[in-house]
Amino acid sequence: MPQPPTPPSLEFEATTPYEDYVRAEVLSSLQQPVTDDPGELAFLVTTQVMELWFTLLVHEWETAARALRRDDLPTALAALERSVHELGSLNASWEPIARLTPAQFNRFRPALGEASGFQSAMYRRVEFLLGEKTTSLLVPYRNVPRVHARLEKALHEPSLYDEALRWLARRGHPVPRAVLDRDVAARYEPDPGVEEVWRAVYADGQGTDAYRLGEQLTEIAERVWRWRNDHLVATRRAMGAKPGTGGSSGVAWLEKRAAKTVFPELWTARGRV
């Protein structure tokens, strides 16, 4: 006869093993709204959840970059594929606050003071890994030495795209020497020679390692673009063209960011295949 199902353990000497591993109490203690408005908690939790997704994306892309550096493409592709799904969850994080009206947002917006998502150190690392680098972006962290040191290190390391192009060059693809030797602390700028490399990769058809890498990077670029546009739309809906917190021009700044293309030659090359 089949054995009856075993019930879960209920007795523990101290906290539950779940709590020991997940640290749920610690996570819950971090939600400390500063107004009485019931909508503020949704905004705060959504922002904190996004920070967790940024942390995971940095982990995945640094894993992929290291794997590409040692020519371990399967490990790199696995990390990139995970990050595509994680970007999907990051994008879905907008849902709880994407339909805030100006009146709803204004009830707790003053509590933000000068706080802005632009100041997120973990998001800055996400952008650095995507090739969006400028030394001036370290300025907000100069009075926090530990954070500043981590970001300065990330600034001077090759981006995910830099490592992908170096991997292609080691596989015999004619990536221009100027691109391979460029200052990786500077923002990546499109290069016609790189576009030609990707055009040739896609002209060869499906199935090659370079093609698979290109498609994973394209998936990432598309979802990053969607995240930036969702951010733009949510902000426009909640505050219109008002100046943003942290001194930015708000929607105008986000429009400029949303117009930037991640891994640009992967997109321009498509028109030449």
- What CATH number has the domain bearing residue 149? 1.20.58.480
- Please tell me the distance from the alpha carbon of residue 20 to that of residue 132, in angstroms, as a whole number: 37
- Within a 10 A sphere around the Cβ of 253, how many other Cβ atoms? 18
Q: How many domains does the chain have?
A: 1
Is residue 14 a part of any domain in this protein? no
Q: How many CB atoms lie within 10 A of CB 242?
A: 15
If you ran DSSP here, which 8-state letter would residue 3 be given?
A: P
Asked if residue 265 belongs to a domain, the reply is: yes
Q: Is residue 42 part of a domain?
A: no
Residue 93 is assigned to a structural domain of this protein:
yes
In a domain, 41, yes or no: no
Separation CA 221–CA 215 (nearest Å): 10
With a cut of 50, list the residues of the chain below it in pLDDT: none
Does residue 257 have a known ligand-binding role?
no
| Model pLDDT, residue 247 | 61
How confident is the model at residue 6, as a pLDDT?
A: 83
For 257-273, b/e burial (b = at least 16 CB within 10 A) is ebeeebbbbbbebeeee
pLDDT at residue 245, rounded to an integer:
66
Residue 59 annotated as part of some ligand binding site: no
183 belongs to a structural domain: yes
| Domain limits for position 195 | 49-109+116-272
Domain contains 168: yes
Judge whether 187 and 133 are in contact, CB under 8 Å: yes
| 231 assigned to a ligand binding site | yes
pLDDT 10s digits, 79-109: 999 999 999 999 999 999 999 999 999 998 9
Exposure string of 79-113, with b = 16+ CB inside 10 Å and e = fewer, is bbbbbbebbeebbebbeebbebeeebbebbbeebe
- Give the span between the Cα atoms of 82 and 219, in whole angstroms: 11
Can you give the pLDDT at residue 249? 65
Determine, yes or no, domain membership for 133.
yes
pLDDT at 248: 63
